[in-house]
Every structure is written in structure tokens, then in C-alpha cells.
Amino acid sequence: MILPPPAQPSQPVAQVDTPALLLDLDAFEANVAAMARFAREAGMRLRPHAKSHKCPPIALAQIAAGAVGVCCQKVSEAEAMVDGGVGDVLVSNEVVGAPKLARLAALAGRARIGVCADDAGNVAALDAAAGAAATTLDVLVEVDVGARRCGVAPGEPAVLLAQAIAACANLRFAGLHAYHGAAQHLRGVGERSAAIARAAAEAQATRDLIERAGIACPLITGAGTGTFAFEAASRVYGELQPGSYVFMDADYGRNDWEGLPRFAQSLFILTTVMSAPVAERVVVDAGLKAHSIDSGMPLVHGRAGLAYEKASDEHGVVAVAPGAARPALGEKLRLVPGHCDPTVNLYDWIVAFRGATVEAVWPVAGRGAFY
Amino acid sequence: MILPPPAQPSQPVAQVDTPALLLDLDAFEANVAAMARFAREAGMRLRPHAKSHKCPPIALAQIAAGAVGVCCQKVSEAEAMVDGGVGDVLVSNEVVGAPKLARLAALAGRARIGVCADDAGNVAALDAAAGAAATTLDVLVEVDVGARRCGVAPGEPAVLLAQAIAACANLRFAGLHAYHGAAQHLRGVGERSAAIARAAAEAQATRDLIERAGIACPLITGAGTGTFAFEAASRVYGELQPGSYVFMDADYGRNDWEGLPRFAQSLFILTTVMSAPVAERVVVDAGLKAHSIDSGMPLVHGRAGLAYEKASDEHGVVAVAPGAARPALGEKLRLVPGHCDPTVNLYDWIVAFRGATVEAVWPVAGRGAFY
């Protein structure tokens, strides 16, 4: 079941049913423009990550501002983007298993499709799938530059895999995927900068080895919202993949941003006070099914003395500090989600507003697209 | 977008696409039967909570086994249950705001509908909505018996609200909702028992006051999977509302169950090893968008020496202990989710299997139904 949208264009934001995912268009458009300008001035390709928004109208806005395409994490997410009009998608992840490989290869008949690999057997399977679909896939070697998740080790293992890809009839070796996820939320600017300096050095050394082996390595891609300025400064990376910058969230808000480009909070959860039983707390209608607390609690936006303290499945307990104005039963509050990506994935619709008025309601077409 | 089901009936479970939500029918049916038998032998009404499963076929199985109906937390969830054939739903929560009240009142034209209240203004709004829809709503006073969430204080505040409900032309005062959510995950049997003893005493005293005021109080309802045996033993409660018992999860697994009825783990996440870069870890394709970590990490089921250590949006890092068998790339693992309710809410389909074969694929009709 997909529920009907909680709002209609031209409706007052105050009338939007709750919980709802609100997007402040002024802040969103400024974020899209700022990242595009940064990439342009840095001479970098920009390929924003669509796993954050899963929403074709947002991808198209990013591309209109200069992005070369988008990243996705899953084949079904990439399908949603291509269905929505995106012509160039990098699945910045490994794709494993015959059904998914067949879908990925078929998608390459409708758009330019890239994918990552960190295993020689998987490379052979990618080649076979592309051959069966009579398509060609761009394949990047994923190198573990510090995230300790997927990816081969820098150096010789990456060279062997690049050689395997280059030898495949239906694959193009497209470069290195060197994303350092674990660095994005290191709080200090210096920590993040140092982590990316190490990552860039490992990626550079790996590229040198690959090119010495006679294989052109056209691109090193990576970076997220927490570190993109450091990848850009490295002169090693050629493409940036930030996703969260379009929305921002409470956890990114806890990073130190001194001296770095800043982005505005554009994403909010609209929630209603559904119970106000005592002076020191109110209960709102947005709990664990309306936002993800994996990176901490949401913040109550623009209201002093209110702290979202505890989430249960369908409730949020908001503490009211002594002396603070207690919201009334039925009043609507805005929350800044703790972590934007898994929060957006809970919603079928993004309610885009400007000022006090709903301007558009966009489908989260890739919601639940985890196959 | 709703993705197509990851499986078809009669398919081998091994072929189900991942991530997928698997339901072991033997364990599930035993759980449904065991709770129904417990309630019957205890002389209690059973009204299981559908917020856990959001799935009409499961609600109908519970009713076929003897449940009087189900609980829901949201109007849209109740609509999904009534659409699915359930004739008696208690929204065990407050409903606030004119659009939701109108839908709730309209739903009472299609099924018996109850709702909770903890505010006199909200009672008046419920009465007006039911009057406008020419329907009647059962209304229970929610009493805070320890959860410190919604609900009026026990005693006089509850009496005043019961009087207000009883005075409304379009509402029936249906009793007290005395659910102690915070007690469900107290680890020790003694702690949970003591918390419910206090809750039952407060509920009983409140009922006595209401009846002394000349208002019949037909029912005290509450209880969850962690405490239902104590509410049943109290001789105060008349109805039990457990939800998680059909599935169970890792967090309930950490409770002490000494001397209590036990339920089997029936719910699993099927996930694929998508990267196996080093000896000490593998990466699976189920991350924050495939299960909720609000109550801790999932467990790897039936595989010694594997520990799900870290979730990112689309990845799970599984540590392989020294000497443990490392799963191969492409191998499928079963995870026991940390918390069943918000995990189920991420899926459009439940893949119900028996032995090695898929038997049915059920829609999670209330997925995302948080309005």
C-alpha cells in the first residue's frame, strides 16, 4: 500500500497531515547550487548520491545544476532513477547474485551504468550478465581506503582486479572507487582532512601501479558530505559523490565545519503534539517508524527548551524545560532528523514547500528499493 | 513505488531475493496458537497488536485462533486492517486533528472502532467527528500506569474524563487503557512482575473511583509480549494486547523468561554476502534500510562465530571470529532483527515459508501507515 500524499500543492504547510517529510525549497535549492558551484570551481565532476533522496525530481535538479549523473547503492534504486529520467548511474556498490546482475545488465541498455567490484569471480559474473544482455558495463575497482567495509586492499590486489576487468569483453574498466565512509562523521576538520589525505595517497599509489601495468585508469571517485572538500583538494580524486548535502541532518550538524562550505538544513519532519498530559513533556506522533535514530535523536527545530528525548514505535517524548513554552495539543512541530538517509526511506512522499505554502509533492520513488 | 515481491509461492527459500523478510510458518503458527491458548485458559480477551505486523493475513490468523480483533496505533493502520477484513479495531492511541478524526469516525461505519483519549478537548472533538459521520466510537481513557508517555494520571483525572466521555451522544465509554510500555523490556521477571503489579493496582483503584461515580467501566485493557502473563494474573485486566509474540526479536530475546510462556523466533531477514574482502569480516546487503537498530544489532542466526557488528545505510559488517567458518561471497544468511516492529515497517512483503519452501507472500498493507 502506498498512502495518498499528506498534502497538495498550494496548500498551507500548516495543513499538511503528519508525520510528513518537509523540504524547504529555498534551502534545498541553495544547497544544490552551492555544491554544483564548488565542484565546478574545483574542476571536479559531481555525481551526487541518490541513496539520500531516492527521488527523481531531486536527481534531475542536481543534474540540471551540473551533475554528470547520480550514484545509487542498489539495482532497484538505479532502476527507479532511470525510470525517472536519469541517464547515467553509478551503482557505487557491489552487485551479487544472478537475478540482480541480469537486471543491472539490462538497465545498461537504457542508460550508462557503472558498478563497483572487489572480487574476481564477481567480475566474471558481471561480464557474463552483460554479455547475455548484449550491453556494456563500466566497472570500477572498489579499494578499501579506510572504511573497512567492502573493497580490495590498495596496491597489488586492485591491479589484479583491474586487469581482470580490462580483459572482459563486455566490461569497461572505469577507474577506482575510493570512498571513505568512516571519515564522514569524524567530528574534527583535522581528523577528516587527515583521513582523506591517507585515502588519497593510497588511491594515487594504486592508480600508479595500474597504469604502470599498462591499463589506463581514467577516474578516482569517492567523497561524501563530510569530506568532499578534502577529496577535491587532493588532486587525486576526479569525481565527488556527496549525498546528504541536499538535506543535512542532526548528526552532520555535530561535525565541525570550520573553514568549509556549509549547507543549510532543508529537511524536516512535521509532527503533531498528540498528547500533553503533564507540564514537563509532550508526546508527538513521530516515532521510530517516522525517523531513524541510528545516529541519535532528532532535534526540535526553532523551539527553545524542547528536547526530543525518547522514541518508541509511534511516539516521541519531547521534554519541556522549566520556563519553556509548552506546545499545545494539536500544535505542529518541525524535527531535524538524526540521520537523513534512512529517515527519507520511511516516506513515500516529500512535501516541498516555500515559505508557508506547499509547492510540490514528490514521490520517493526508490523508497524500499533495497534489492 | 512498491517493488515486486522478492519471491513466489513454491519457490525454494534459497532463491528468495535479498534483503527479504522471512516468516517461518511453523514457528509463527505455534506462537499464534500458544498465545490464544494462554488467553483462553486465563479467561482473558485477546486483542493482539497489529502495529507489529501491519499484515491483514496475520490479523485474520490471530482472529481465527480466538482473538476478538486487533489493536492499531494509527488511523491509516486501522484502515488497512478493516480493508483487509478485520471487523473490530482498537486504536490504542490518541488521535488528534480534524482530518484524522473524520477518517476514524468514518471507519466506524465499516467496523467496530475504539480509540483512546487523555484530554477533554479531544473527547469533544471525537464526539463531534462521530456525530458528523453518524457513527459511534468506543472511547477508553488512557491512564499512565508507569510508561510516562501518553495518558492521564490514575484516579480523579481519569474519572473526570470518563464522565466527559459518558456524557457524549456519539461516544461509548469503553473502559481504561492501561498499557505499561516501559515495563516490556525490563530484563528481570521480577522487575516486570512488580511494574505490572503497580500498574494493575493503579488501574483497579481508578476503575473503583469511576464506578463509584456511577459509570460502568467494562474493561481494563493493556499488556505486551514482555508482561502479558502478569496482567492476566492480576485479575484486574480483562484484555491482552501483545504484538511481538508472533515474531519475537533479539531484544525480547535478552529478557529473562524464567517460568513464563515462551515464543519461538519466527521472523528473519534473509541477506546475501556481497563482499568478503578479508578473512575477519564479510559484508551483507542488509543495513539500516533493511532493519532497525534502535534496540541493538541483529543476530546472525544459526551460524557460530559470526557477529553483525556495524550497520550503515545499505551494508552490514559481520565479524568472523578466529576459527569460525567464513561465509562465501553470495551465500545467504538469516538475521534475527534487533526490534521487530520498525523492521517490518521497512518491507512491503513478508515471505512466509515452511521448511525449505516459500508457501505464501503476504503484503505488509500497513507499511508506512503512520497518518
| Tens-place pLDDT, residues A136-192 | 999 999 999 999 999 999 999 999 999 999 999 999 999 999 999 999 999 999 999
Angstrom distance (rounded) from CA B293 to CA B283 = 17
Q: Looking at residues A218-232, what average pLDDT do you find? A: 98
- Please check the confidence at residue A2 and state whether its pLDDT lies above 80: no
pLDDT classification of A369: cutoffs 50, 70, 90: very high
Q: How far is B366 from chain A (nearest CA, A)?
A: 7
A104-141 residue pLDDT tens: 999 999 999 999 999 999 999 999 999 999 999 999 99
Give the number of beta-carbon pairs within 8 Å between A and B.
185
> Using alpha carbons only, what angle is made at residue B294 by residues B289 and B300, rounded to the nearest 5 degrees?
70
Angstrom distance (rounded) from CA B78 to CA A57 = 32
Residues B129, A271, A49, A68, CA torsion sign: positive
Q: Are strands B171-177 and B220-222 parallel, antiparallel or unpaired?
A: parallel
Question: Tell me, what amino acid is at B68?
Answer: V
Is the peptide bond prior to A19 cis by the omega test (within 30 degrees of 0)?
yes
Stretch 8-37 of chain B: residues touching chain A, C-beta under 8 Å: 17-19
* A113 to A238, A367, B208: CA distances (angstroms): 18, 20, 69
Residues A89, A94, A99, A105, CA torsion sign: positive
The per-residue pLDDT for B135 is: 98
Least Cα distance to B333 among B279, B278, B269 occurs for B269
Assigned C-alpha cell, B19: 534483503
The per-residue pLDDT for A1 is: 66
CB contact under 8 A, B370 and A313: no
- Please check the confidence at residue A224 and state whether its pLDDT lies above 70: yes
Angstrom distance (rounded) from CA B183 to CA B222 = 12
Among all residues of chain B, which has the CA nearest to that of A315?
Answer: B149
Q: Which residues of A touch B283 (CB under 8 A)?
A: 149-150
CB contact under 8 A, B3 and A276: no
**Helix residue ranges, H only, chain B:** 25-42, 56-64, 75-83, 98-107, 120-133, 156-166, 189-212, 228-233, 250-253, 340-344
The per-residue pLDDT for B2 is: 78
pLDDT classification of A3: cutoffs 50, 70, 90: confident
CB contact under 8 A, A274 and B121: no
To test the contact with chain A by mutation, choose from B149, B275, B310 the residue with the greatest count of A C-beta atoms within 10 A, namely B275
SS3 A337: coil
Which domains are delineated in chain A? 13-21+264-363 (2.40.37.20), 25-249 (3.20.20.10)
**Helix residue ranges, H only, chain A:** 25-42, 56-64, 75-83, 98-107, 120-133, 156-166, 189-212, 228-233, 250-253, 340-344
ipTM for the complex shown: 0.97
Is A150's Cβ below 8 Å from some Cβ in B?
Answer: yes
Among all residues of chain A, which has the CA nearest to that of B152?
Answer: A277
SS3 A179: coil
Q: Which of B96, B181, B348 is nearest residue A329 as measured by Cβ atoms?
A: B96
B270-280 residue pLDDT tens: 999 999 999 99
- Please check the confidence at residue B294 and state whether its pLDDT lies above 80: yes
Among all residues of chain A, which has the CA nearest to that of B365?
Answer: A1
Is B73's Cβ below 8 Å from some Cβ in A?
Answer: yes
Is B283's Cβ below 8 Å from some Cβ in A?
Answer: yes
How much of chain B exceeds pLDDT 70, in percent? 100
Angstrom distance (rounded) from CA A306 to CA A302 = 9
Placement of cell 510540490 in the chain: A360
CB contact under 8 A, A369 and B1: yes
Is the distance from CB of B169 to CB of B131 less than 8 angstroms?
yes
Q: What are phi and psi of A338, to 5 degrees?
A: -65, -40
What contacts A4, CB < 8 A, 6 or more positions away?
none
Q: Which residues of A touch B341 (CB under 8 A)?
A: 288-289, 313
Question: Tell me, what amino acid is at A332?
Answer: K
B69-103 residue pLDDT tens: 999 999 999 999 999 999 999 999 999 999 999 99
Is the distance from CB of A203 to CB of A211 less than 8 angstroms?
no
A270-323 residue pLDDT tens: 999 999 999 999 999 999 999 999 999 999 999 999 999 999 999 999 999 999
Is B290's Cβ below 8 Å from some Cβ in A?
Answer: yes
To test the contact with chain B by mutation, choose from A143, A149, A295, A333 the residue with the greatest count of B C-beta atoms within 10 A, namely A149
Angstrom distance (rounded) from CA A182 to CA A193 = 12
Count helices and strands (H / E) in chain B: 10, 17
Is B314's Cβ below 8 Å from some Cβ in A?
Answer: yes
What contacts B212, CB < 8 A, 6 or more positions away?
none
CB contact under 8 A, A294 and B293: yes
- Please check the confidence at residue B3 and state whether its pLDDT lies above 90: no
Mean pLDDT over the full length of chain A:
97
A66-115 residue pLDDT tens: 999 999 999 999 999 999 999 999 999 999 999 999 999 999 999 999 99
CB contact under 8 A, A293 and B290: no
SS3 A175: strand
- Please check the confidence at residue B232 and state whether its pLDDT lies above 90: yes
Q: Are strands A332-336 and A299-300 parallel, antiparallel or unpaired?
A: antiparallel
The per-residue pLDDT for B361 is: 98
Is the distance from CB of B138 to CB of B188 less than 8 angstroms?
no
> Model-level pTM?
0.98
Least Cα distance to A22 among A269, A265, A247, A298 occurs for A269
Q: How far is B41 from chain A (nearest CA, A)?
A: 30
- Please check the confidence at residue B343 and state whether its pLDDT lies above 90: yes
The per-residue pLDDT for B1 is: 66
Is A313's Cβ below 8 Å from some Cβ in B?
Answer: yes
Q: What are phi and psi of B284, to 5 degrees?
A: -105, 165
Is A211's Cβ below 8 Å from some Cβ in B?
Answer: no
Angstrom distance (rounded) from CA B288 to CA B294 = 10
Is the distance from CB of A31 to CB of A24 less than 8 angstroms?
no
Is B339's Cβ below 8 Å from some Cβ in A?
Answer: yes
The per-residue pLDDT for A287 is: 98
A353-368 residue pLDDT tens: 999 999 999 999 999 9
Q: Which residues of B touch A283 (CB under 8 A)?
A: 149-150
